[in-house]
Structure 1
Amino acid sequence: MKIRLAVAGDEPGIAAVHVDSWRTTYKGLVPDSYLDGLSYGQRTELWKRNLAYPGVRVLVAEDSEGRIIGFISGGPAQPDPADNQTAAQASGLSYDAELTAFYLLEDAQGQGTGRKLVSALFRHLARDGLKAAHVWVLEENKARTFYEHLGAVVTERETIEIGGKALMELGLVWSEQDFAVIRDTGGAAE
C-alpha cells in the first residue's frame, strides 16, 4: 500500500472510490434512490475541480497494483459566504483546518490504511501552518468511532438532508495536541 498526493489523472479512481464507498457506507442510512443516482462521471468532474482548488490537499492510497483504494482531502477552514466566518469562529471552537472528504473501499478498511491517510494529511496541513482540524460525519457512520479513536471530540450537531431524508451530522475536532500526535505517529494522544 502506498500513500501519495493526488495528481491530474487520478480523478476517475478517486471518483470510483467516492461513489462505491458511499454506496456501501451509507446503505440503509441514505435513501437507495439517492445512492443509485450517484454518477462516476459527475464525481470525476467534481474531483477535477477539487484537485485544482488552491490550498486543498488530496492524498490517495494505492494497492500493490496501483489501484486507488482510498482518498482523503482537507485544507484551511473555509469561511461561510453568508457571514464570512469560519465555523470555528462562529462557534468559538479552536481549529484552523478541515478534513473535507475521506473514503476507503470496503475491502480496504480495518487494515491501518485510514489511520495512515489521516496522519499523512495532517503532516501536509501542518506544513501549511495548520494546527487543529475539524470534520463533519453522519452520526450513524462507523467512521465516527474511527475519528473518536484518533482523539477527535464531538463539538457540534446539526440536521442535514440527503435524498429527502433528515440525518444528524456531527462536527468533531482534533485539538492541537491530538492533531500533532496523529501527524507525528498516526495515533491518538493518551
Structure 2
Amino acid sequence: MELLRWELLDEFKAQDNKALEFQRKYKEKLEDEKKKAREAVENYEAILLKEFAGENVATAKKKVLVDIEKANEAVKVAEEERIKAVDYANKNLTGSITADDLHDDFIRFRDEVREKVLQPILDRQRKALADYYQALADHYMLSDAYKDECETINQLTRKRKGSMRVSHRPTEVYRDAILPKDADLEFVRISKEVPTHLQGGE
C-alpha cells in the first residue's frame, strides 16, 4: 500500500530551517565570544595567583585586563548582533504557512486520502466479501447436492437389523467452512497482517 505524503506539512516543518540556520551562526558566535571571555578571566586569576606568590606580573596583568575588557565588549557586540539576527530572521526568513493553513489544507488532504487510498481498499474489501459469501453459498449448495444420496443410504442401512452405521454428506458447512473469527479480526487490527494460518492459501 502506497501512502500519500502531506506536502504542506513538510513545507511547514521546513519553512523555518533557513531562519534557524541564519540565527544559529550568530548564536555560535556569541558562545565563542563568551568562551574567550571566560578564558581571559581564567588567565587573569592565574596571573593574580603568581602575583600573590611574589612574582612580578605587572606587564602580564595589564595585558590580561585589556584582554578581559576586549572580550567583554566582544560578548556585548555578539549578543546585540544575535538579537538583531533573530529579529531579522523572524521578519524576513521565516515561512508564511500558518496553523490555520494546515488545518484548512488537511481537510483537502483527508478527502484526497479517502479517494485515492481508502476507496481502492474498500473496493478490495467489498470484492473479497462478495467472493467469500459466494464461496460460502457454493459450500451450502455442495452440502445439499448429496443430501438425497446420503438419506437413501442411511435408510437402507437402518433397515438392516442391528446396523449402527451412519453415512454423512461429503461436506457440512458447520464442519468444514472457514468462517471469520473474532480472534483473527483482532490479530489483523493489532499486527496489520494476515493471520499466519491464512497466509499462502492455507
Q: Give TM-score, length-normalised by structure 2.
A: 0.15
* Structure that is richer in strand per residue: 1
Q: Which has the higher helix share?
A: 2
* Pair member with larger Rg: 2
